[in-house]
Each structure stands twice: as structure tokens, then as C-alpha cells.
């Protein structure tokens, strides 16, 4: 592709209501094949729409960098030609320069300096997207491009080379603070307070029983808020079914929330 044409991220909406971000060639508005396949095959089932959108945006930057440096990315991946450490370092420098120089129209100068500086965690997330994309491509195209070789050994060697190159470019940062949970006494107190009949219950009478069930369900299963909000009556244990089903249902048409 001509580097001047570039790419655009489009968020499609399926009949089910699910939002699905797609990387398109700006000139033709056709999907970028390998980026779309990767998101469908590797990411869609395990990631929410907002995470998919961030990943597609990162892949957009990677494709743009490849175009700007004369790399025909999809052709190269199909031929199972790996990126070397120098090339990956070049992309990392491009990524840091690009993501720290974009103007923020609504921010003042002080805010812009804060907003435009990538944190180590964000930068490493961006690198992880491209790293996983290249590893996926290696597993996908090594068997086709190099028939007759020891495919397993070749792919594993390629994966290790990719991981080593990205690892050397990732940023260190402050250690993530340990997450603190409630003590046993605090859990017991919470359970008492949310009982519908407890005089300290802070909720309106109409939602007390519902909120009591939500708290107990989260304490019993460790489900996240978004997962609890997707639980339906058909997912509950009943009859011979002894398990609670947690089913991915992004942007359910029956869910009135926007996202």
C-alpha cells in the first residue's frame, strides 16, 4: 500500500448488537486481511470491544510504520520472514515518538504534557499487541512457507526471537501494588449490611434483594461486575445442571446499556 493512503479504524455493529473494530485501507475501505483475521481468530472470544478497539489501533500504527519504512507487511508475514531486533527497535522508537507528539486540542499545555506521555504500562501493552500478532503470524504461515522443515522447532525458534526482541524494548516501571481484599470480619459485616431486612441497608427497598444477590454472587464466585451483569436466569444451576454459566455476550441487543 502507498504510505500516503494510510488506514482507518471502523467499528462495525453486527445484527446481534456486538461492536467489532476493523482495520480498513483508507483508499479502498477494504478490510486489512491479516489484521482482521488475527482479531477474529485470536482476540474476539477473549476480549471485550474496547480492548479489541485498542488492539486494532495499535495494529494500525504498526502497518503505517511498515508502509513508511518500505516493508510490505502482509507479503512478508505470508513468507514467514521474521522481523529482526533492529527493526522491532525501530518500530518501538516510532511508537514512542508518535504517541508522545500528537496534539490534544482540548488540553492546555500542562495537561498536554501529562496526557501525551506514555506510561510504561501503556507502552508495554502496545508492544504486546504487535508481539502477539507477529507470533500468531509465525504459527500461521511457517508451515505453509517452509514445507519439509521441522515446523515445530522453526516456529518455536521464531517465537523466542520475537519475544526476546520485544522484551528488550519494554519499559520498566513501578511495581504494581498488591491488591488488597476484604478481611474475614469485613466480609461478614458486608453480608449483614446488604441483607434486605437489615436496618443499615443503604439501598432503596425495591432493589435490596437484587443487590443482596449480586453481592453474594460476587463473593461466592469471584465474578467481575460486567460478568455479573450478563448473568440470566437460564445461566443459573437448576435441575440436573449444577453449574453457573458465564457466557460472553458483548453488546447484547437486550441489554439497554450503550456499551
Distance of CA 89 to the CA centre of its chain: 22
pLDDT for 74 equals 93
- Asked whether residue 241 is assigned to any structural domain, the reply reads no
Residue 190 lies in a domain: yes
- What does the pLDDT profile of the chain (259 residues) look like in tens digits? 444 469 999 999 888 778 899 999 998 999 999 999 999 999 988 888 889 999 999 999 999 999 999 999 999 999 888 898 899 999 999 988 866 544 444 444 444 443 456 788 889 999 999 999 999 998 888 776 566 666 667 778 888 989 998 998 988 766 566 778 889 999 999 999 999 999 999 999 999 999 999 999 999 989 888 888 888 888 888 888 889 888 877 777 777 776 6
Domain boundary among 167, 195, 211: 167
| Residues 77 and 107 reside in one and the same domain | yes
189 and 162 fall within a common domain: no
Cα four-point dihedral sign 203, 205, 207, 213: positive
Residue 256 lies in a domain: no
pTM over 0.75, yes/no: no
The reported pLDDT for the residue numbered 101 is 45
Residues 144 and 203 in one domain: no
Residue 175 has a pLDDT of: 59
Domain presence at residue 43: yes
Position 224 scores a pLDDT of: 86
Q: Which domain holds residue 14?
A: 7-167
In a domain, 21, yes or no: yes
Cβ atoms of residues 55 and 127 within 8 Å:
no
- Does any domain span residue 137? yes
Residue at 104 is within a domain: yes
Same domain, 75 and 197: no
- pLDDT of amino acid 16: 78
For the chain, the domain total comes to 2
Same domain, 20 and 135: yes
- Domain stops at, among 112, 134, 167: 167
pLDDT of residue 128: 94
pLDDT at 5: 66
pLDDT for the residue 178: 73
Amino acid at each position: 500500500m502507498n504510505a500516503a493512503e494510510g488506514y482507518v479504524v471502523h467499528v462495525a455493529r453486527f445484527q446481534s448488537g456486538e461492536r467489532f473494530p476493523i482495520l480498513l485501507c483508507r483508499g479502498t475501505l477494504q478490510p486489512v486481511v491479516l489484521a482482521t483475521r488475527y482479531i477474529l481468530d485470536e482476540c474476539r472470544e477473549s476480549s471485550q470491544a474496547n480492548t479489541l478497539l485498542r488492539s486494532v489501533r495499535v495494529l494500525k500504527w504498526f502497518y503505517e510504520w511498515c508502509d513508511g519504512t518500505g516493508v510490505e507487511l502482509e507479503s512478508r508475514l505470508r513468507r514467514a520472514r521474521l522481523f529482526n531486533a533492529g527493526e522491532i527497535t525501530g518500530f518501538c522508537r516510532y511508537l514512542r515518538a508518535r504517541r508522545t507528539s500528537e496534539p490534544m486540542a482540548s488540553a492546555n499545555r500542562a495537561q498536554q504534557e501529562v496526557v501525551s506521555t506514555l506510561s510504561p504500562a501503556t507502552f508495554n501493552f502496545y508492544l504486546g499487541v504487535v508481539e502477539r500478532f507477529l507470533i500468531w503470524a509465525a504459527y500461521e504461515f511457517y508451515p505453509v512457507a517452509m514445507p519439509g522443515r521441522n515446523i515445530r522447532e522453526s516456529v518455536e525458534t521464531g517465537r523466542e526471537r520475537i519475544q526476546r526482541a520485544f522484551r528488550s524494548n519494554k519499559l520498566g516501571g513501578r511495581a504494581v501494588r498488591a491488591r488488597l481484599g476484604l478481611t474475614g470480619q469485613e466480609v461478614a459485616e458486608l453480608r449483614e449490611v446488604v441483607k434486605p431486612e437489615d436496618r443499615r441497608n443503604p439501598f432503596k427497598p425495591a432493589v435490596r434483594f437484587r443487590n443482596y444477590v449480586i453481592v453474594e454472587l460476587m463473593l461466592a464466585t469471584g465474578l467481575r461486575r460486567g460478568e455479573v451483569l450478563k448473568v440470566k436466569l437460564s445461566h443459573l444451576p437448576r435441575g440436573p445442571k449444577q453449574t453457573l454459566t458465564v457466557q460472553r455476550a458483548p453488546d447484547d441487543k437486550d441489554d439497554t446499556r450503550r456499551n
